[in-house]
Amino acid sequence: MNAILVIGGAEIRAALRNRWIIAATLLMAALALTLAFLGSAPTGTVGAGPLEVTVVSLSSLTIFLVPLIALLLSYDAIVGEAERGTLLLLLAYPVARWQVVAGKFLGHVVVLGLATTLGYGAAGVVLGAIGAADAESALAFAGMVGSSVLLGAAFLALGYLVSVSVRDRGMAGGLAIGVWLVLVLLYDMALLGLLVADQGRTITEAAFNRLLLLDPADIYRLFNLAGFAKVSLFSGMAGLAEQAQFGRAALLAALGVWIAAPLTLAAILLSRKQL
């Protein structure tokens, strides 16, 4: 069997064994169901149904939660093994170093994907059962779940990059929190500050849109809040949606870059590492 699958399978089994998957799934299901029930209260005549309300509230929550879960899963993936001595052993097997990164990543994506799909899916099924969904909102909801997994994968990849770059677990943990703070909170604030200070003089709309692509959390936000007509109507981003120059495919591709680039860099750094 391929080394990548063996290593990935071991990660999945470990997550099942230490109840990571169950805990994450229950947490996400609880949050999603809460938001779904709150959101299915009468929404008046704004033209948005309960499912759209849920997509908006849930994706706003996802931006904070999923990157955090992903970084917690991945920050010690390499450095933790190095400290336990199992990395030396793993690399003494007929396994290339990039295969170690790829295998662990694959396992963690499945873990995160399972938790997200099952947890959020529960809310989707409930809302579908009470007849709150039409085809377009169902599509928006599915897009939200899928892009949440991609967002998680991007932060998993960033977590690996952290994990191969430092020498001890404590530092990796601190750096992972730093990555989360910067990309999830500080970058948006800095961008906002920049816009206010600039007063629209030098930063054009196109430049602003490109700046948003420099943060996977913003790409996710654009994809979910502005990407669907009915959702953007409710999220208050309808204006933004009209000016957005990127299609949904382009946004997905940008998220793909945010997954591939840190992961490739992590594999290269690990290959060069002297153990």
Partner 1 sequence: MSALVEVVAVSKLYGDHAAVRGVDLSLRAGECVALVGHNGAGKSTLIKMMLGLCRPSAGRVRVCGEDPAGRHGARLHAGLGYLPENVVFPPSLTGREVLDFYARLKRQNPARNPALLERVGLADAARKKLGAYSKGMRQRLGLAQALLGAPKLLLLDEPTTGLDPASRQDFYEIVTELRDGGAAVLLSSHALSEIEGRTDRIAVMSRGRLVAYGTLAELRGAADLPVRIRVDLTAAAGWSAPVLPSLRCQWIGDRRVELTCANDVKLEVLRQVSGSDVTADIQIMPPTLDDIYAQLMRRAAE
- Does residue 14 interact with partner 1 by CB under 8 A? yes
- Does residue 269 interact with partner 1 by CB under 8 A? no
- Comparing CB distances to partner 1, the nearer of 87 and 226 is 87
Rounded CA separation 7/16 (Å): 14
Instruction: Answer yes or no: are the C-beta atoms of 108 and 102 closer than 8 Å.
Output: no
- Comparing CB distances to partner 1, the nearer of 73 and 251 is 73
Rounded CA separation 136/123 (Å): 17
- Comparing CB distances to partner 1, the nearer of 50 and 103 is 103
Q: Long-range contact list for 60-66, CB < 8 A, 24+ apart?
A: 60/225, 61/31, 61/35, 62/144, 62/148, 62/151, 62/220, 63/151, 63/184, 63/217, 63/220, 63/221, 64/184, 65/28, 65/31, 66/112, 66/116, 66/148, 66/151, 66/152, 66/155
Question: E strands of 122-236, at which residues?
Answer: none
- Does residue 46 interact with partner 1 by CB under 8 A? no
Of 47-55, 69-77, 86-94, 174-182, the window that binds partner 1 (rule: CB under 8 A) is 86-94
What's the closest the beta carbon of residue 15 comes to partner 1, in angstroms? 11
| Residue listed under structure tokens 């229950």 | 26
Rounded CA separation 275/273 (Å): 6
Q: Which two tokens stand for residue 166?
A: 């430092």
Q: Which two tokens stand for residue 195?
A: 């816009």
Of 4-12, 57-65, 204-212, 256-264, the window that binds partner 1 (rule: CB under 8 A) is 4-12
- Does residue 191 interact with partner 1 by CB under 8 A? no
Binding mask 94-133 for partner 1 (x = CB under 8 A): xxx-------------------------------------
First to last CA, the chain: 26
Of 2-10, 21-29, 36-44, 130-138, the window that binds partner 1 (rule: CB under 8 A) is 2-10
- Does residue 23 interact with partner 1 by CB under 8 A? no
Rounded CA separation 272/23 (Å): 36
What's the closest the beta carbon of residue 97 comes to partner 1, in angstroms? 8
Of residues 44, 85, 131, 242, which one binds partner 1 by CB under 8 A?
85
Distance of CA 113 to the CA centre of its chain: 10
- Does residue 268 interact with partner 1 by CB under 8 A? no
Of residues 38, 46, 47, 93, which one binds partner 1 by CB under 8 A?
93
Rounded CA separation 44/149 (Å): 32
- Does residue 167 interact with partner 1 by CB under 8 A? no
Of residues 41, 44, 45, 92, which one binds partner 1 by CB under 8 A?
92
What's the closest the beta carbon of residue 72 comes to partner 1, in angstroms? 17
* Residues binding partner 1 (CB under 8 A): 1, 3, 6-7, 10, 13-14, 17-18, 84-86, 88-96, 274-275
